[in-house]
Structure formats: C-alpha cells, structure tokens
Amino acid sequence: MVQFGKKACKHKERLSDKTLKEILRKLSARDIYFVDGCEITLRESTRGKFHNKGRERKKLDGRDVAPAIKLHVLYSYVKRTFTQIDITEAVADECQHVFAEELKGCVLIADRGYISEELEESLIRLGVKVIIKGRVNMVSGTIVEAYDENHNKLDEYKGKRYGDIKSRNDEFLDVTVQTGKSHQIRIVRMLNPNCKSTRKDTDEDAKKQEKEEGRYIYLRTNISMDELSIEKIFQMYRFRGTIEFLR
C-alpha cells in the first residue's frame, strides 16, 4: 500500500460530517472511494528502458507516440487521502486496477473507463456499492422495472429492451435492466444541464449538432431505489467532481 498526504488533492467542496455519516448509514458502507487513471507522458529518452507504451496512434508524419505511463489511484473520501496506487503502461486496462479487496463494504465512484459487466459482478459479490458513469451505447438488457421523472412506474416497458425506452424525453429516467443470466444493474439517466441542445442560451444550429450522447448523463449502480433516489445518486456522483486529483 502507498499512502499519500492530504495535500495530494484539493477538495473544492466538502460534505458536512452529518451528511456523510447519513449517506454511509443508509448504504451500510464504511467509506466512499474514487478510482481514476491518470496518464503521464515521459521523455523520449525513456523509451525501451521499461514498460511505458503510449496509448495514442502514430503521428501523421509516421513518428511513434511518446512513451507514457498511467497512474491508477484510489482515493478515500472518509480518510481524505490516496490509499492505493499502481503504475503501468498507458495502454493498461483501467478495469484491471480497481483494488477490489480494499473496497469491501464501501461505495466506489468511477468514470466510464471502468464500465465492465464482469467488474460490476465481482465488486457486487464483494459487497461493494458502485456508481459508474456510462454511455448510451453501453446500455443494453431487458427492463425489469422503470420509473419516470415523477417516480411513476412505467409497467408498459417491463420485459422490453432498453432501446425501447431511451427515446423518452424525461428529465430523469430510472430503469433496472437484466444484462445477463443473474446480473441486474440500475441505469439512471439525467438530462445534461451543460448540453447545448438543452440550454436556452444556445442557437438552434448548435442544438441540432448536439449528439444524443451529450444530451443525457448515464450512471450505472447497484444502489437500490429504496436506498437512494435518482436525485441522490447523481449528487453522489458529483462528489467526484468536488475533488481535484493531481493531473
């Protein structure tokens, strides 16, 4: 284990101790962790001296990409410090560096680089609550239950594919899907307030150019509706944005 001082990152905002304790109590969790990967470009003179393959394509003039490494870090919100770090080639799969054993009985918040049904299943078996940012093209499966922005149950979509419901224009959409024989995951969707097509101060041409991917924010979680509402799930994910990691 590698320990880092609290100055290694900056909290733009902090939860009150009371709010943090209430969230942990509701989720029966002992901590909230953030996992992330940070790529660092190295000097050309380091090429070939150790594993430092960059993940970009070759340059247009045929030159190789710069050598690079990736830091995989785990940050504890309760302890206010980094608790784990791995150093790999920049091309390493982030899903292979999640420090799962340390996450037992905790909440893990991650970006879309950590989307993996296999990873989700393994974390859930360890008793980990996950909140992972997703993409619309990574959402599939059969709908088990669905709710609209007013928390009304949408029984007409039960048994249908997720693609049958994604065209709805609700500000919030809360859907549980079965993606495998035994794997169920909750997909919560929120209208993106920063998207050009949802902002009143943006011209119509810009709105038309906005792709569906940018219209909504998707999160994957195994936190039940009884534990946290869709609004609270998005508040939880925004915790990640209140911490400024080293870059």
E-state strands within the chain: 10-11, 32-41, 68-76, 81-89, 107-110, 129-134, 142-147, 172-178, 184-191, 216-221, 243-244
Distance CA 247, CA 153 (A): 43
Cβ–Cβ under 8 Å, residues 89 and 72:
no
More confident residue, 144 or 198: 144
Q: Is the pTM of this model over 0.85?
A: no
* Tokens 């869709």 found at: 230
| Per-residue pLDDT reduced to its tens digit, 29-67 | 999 999 998 888 887 777 766 666 665 555 555 566 778
Nearest-angstrom CA–CA distance, 78 and 17: 9
Q: Please give the Cα distance from 240 to 247 (Å, whole number).
A: 15
Phi-psi region of 64 (alpha: psi -120 to 50; beta: other; left: phi over 0): beta
Residue 201 in this model has a pLDDT that exceeds 90: no
pLDDT, residue 2, reads 40
pLDDT in tens, 75-90: 999 998 899 999 888 8
26 and 228 in contact (C-beta within 8 Å)? Answer: yes
Separation between Cα atoms, residue 131 and residue 120, nearest integer Å: 10
